[in-house]
Structure 1
Amino acid sequence: MKIRIPVYRPTIEEEELRAARSVLESRWLGMGALVEEFEKQTAAVIGARHVIAVSNCTAALWMTLQALGVKAGDEVIVPSMTYVSTPQAVLAVGAKPVFCEVREQDLLMDPEDVARRITFKTAAVIAVHYGGRICDMSALRRALGGKKIWILEDAAHAFGSRCTEGYAGTLADAGCLSFDPIKNITCGEGGAIVTGDDALAARLRRMRNVGVDTDTWRRLSTERPWYYEVSETGLRNVMADMNASIGLAQLPKLERFRQRRLEIVRQYDEAFRELLGIQTLDHEIEGVFPHNYVVRAGGGRRDRMIRELAQRGIGTGVHFIPCHMQPLFAAPGVRLPVTERLYEEIVSLPLASDLTQEEAAEVIAAVREFANGGN
Structure 2
Amino acid sequence: MTRINVMQPWMGQEEIAALAAVVESGWVAQGARVAEFETAFAAMQGAEHAVATSSCTTALHLALLVAGVGDGDDVVVPSFSFIATANAPTYVGARPVFADVDPTTGNLTAATLEVALTPATRAVVLVDQGGVPADLESVRALCDPRGIVVIEDAACAAGSTYRGSPVGAGADIAAWSFHPRKILTTGEGGMVTTADAAWATRARRLREHAMSASASARHANVLAPPEEYAEVGFNFRMTDLQAAVGLVQLARLPEVVERRRSLAAGYQKAIAEIDGLRAVTDPSWGTCNYQSFWVEVEEASPFDREELMVRLAEAEVSARRGIMAAHRQPAYRTGDHGAASLRATERLTDNTLILPLFHQMSDSEQTRVIDVLRSAAAKA
TM-score when normalising by structure 2: 0.94
The answer to which of 114-123 and 22-31 deviates more is 22-31
Task: Please tell me whether the aligned partners of residues 3 and 315 of structure 1 are also in contact (alpha carbons under 8 angstroms).
Answer: no
Task: Please tell me whether the aligned partners of residues 322 and 351 of structure 2 are also in contact (alpha carbons under 8 angstroms).
Answer: no
Report the secondary structure of 2:333's partner residue.
Answer: coil
Change in 2 beyond 3 A, CA 1:307/1:327: same
Report the secondary structure of 2:317's partner residue.
Answer: coil
Q: What amino acid is the match of 2:24?
A: E
Report the secondary structure of 2:72's partner residue.
Answer: coil
Instruction: Percent identity, please.
Output: 32
| Distance across 1 between alignment mates of 2:53 and 2:203 | 10
Q: What amino acid is the match of 1:305?
A: L
Q: What amino acid is the match of 1:296?
A: E
| Distance across 2 between alignment mates of 1:194 and 1:144 | 19
Give the deviation of 1:279 after TM superposition.
1.7
| Distance across 2 between alignment mates of 1:71 and 1:165 | 34
2:292 pairs with 1:292: yes
| Distance across 2 between alignment mates of 1:63 and 1:233 | 12
Report the secondary structure of 2:159's partner residue.
Answer: coil
2:181 pairs with 1:178: no
Give the deviation of 1:165 after TM superposition.
6.2
Equivalence for 2:331: 328
Equivalence for 2:304: 301
| Distance across 1 between alignment mates of 2:265 and 2:164 | 24
Equivalence for 1:266: 265
Equivalence for 1:352: 358
2:345 pairs with 1:339: yes
RMSD: 1.8
Give the deviation of 1:241 after TM superposition.
0.6
Equivalence for 1:254: 253
Equivalence for 2:319: 316
Report the secondary structure of 1:135's partner residue.
Answer: coil
Measured against aligned partners, the alpha-carbon deviations of 1:118-164 in whole angstroms (never above 9, x if no partner) come to 12100000000011111111221233371000000000010121222
Change in 2 beyond 3 A, CA 1:34/1:370: same
Q: What amino acid is the match of 1:179?
A: F
Number of matched pairs: 373
Q: What amino acid is the match of 2:181?
A: I
Q: What amino acid is the match of 1:137?
A: L
Task: Please tell me whether the aligned partners of residues 50 and 194 of structure 1 are also in contact (alpha carbons under 8 angstroms).
Answer: yes
The answer to which of 354-363 and 96-105 deviates more is 354-363
Measured against aligned partners, the alpha-carbon deviations of 1:38-63 in whole angstroms (never above 9, x if no partner) come to 00111111121100000000000011
Large movers: runs of 4+ above 6 Å: none
| Distance across 2 between alignment mates of 1:92 and 1:278 | 38
| Distance across 2 between alignment mates of 1:15 and 1:251 | 12
Equivalences for residues 16-95 of structure 1 within 5 A = 16-95=15-94
Task: Please tell me whether the aligned partners of residues 100 and 340 of structure 2 are also in contact (alpha carbons under 8 angstroms).
Answer: no
Give the deviation of 1:170 after TM superposition.
2.6
Equivalence for 1:13: 12
Change in 2 beyond 3 A, CA 1:96/1:3: farther
| Distance across 2 between alignment mates of 1:130 and 1:136 | 12
Report the secondary structure of 1:309's partner residue.
Answer: helix
| Distance across 2 between alignment mates of 1:312 and 1:8 | 17
Report the secondary structure of 1:344's partner residue.
Answer: helix
Task: Please tell me whether the aligned partners of residues 100 and 110 of structure 1 are also in contact (alpha carbons under 8 angstroms).
Answer: no
| Distance across 2 between alignment mates of 1:114 and 1:58 | 22
Task: Please tell me whether the aligned partners of residues 7 and 356 of structure 2 are also in contact (alpha carbons under 8 angstroms).
Answer: yes
2:200 pairs with 1:218: no
| Distance across 2 between alignment mates of 1:15 and 1:223 | 34
| Distance across 2 between alignment mates of 1:77 and 1:52 | 24
Equivalence for 2:148: 149
Gaps of 5+ in 2: none
Task: Please tell me whether the aligned partners of residues 153 and 171 of structure 1 are also in contact (alpha carbons under 8 angstroms).
Answer: no
| Distance across 2 between alignment mates of 1:29 and 1:319 | 37
The answer to which of 329-338 and 226-235 deviates more is 329-338
| Distance across 2 between alignment mates of 1:247 and 1:210 | 23
| Distance across 1 between alignment mates of 2:77 and 2:190 | 19
Give the deviation of 1:91 after TM superposition.
0.5
The answer to which of 201-210 and 136-145 deviates more is 136-145
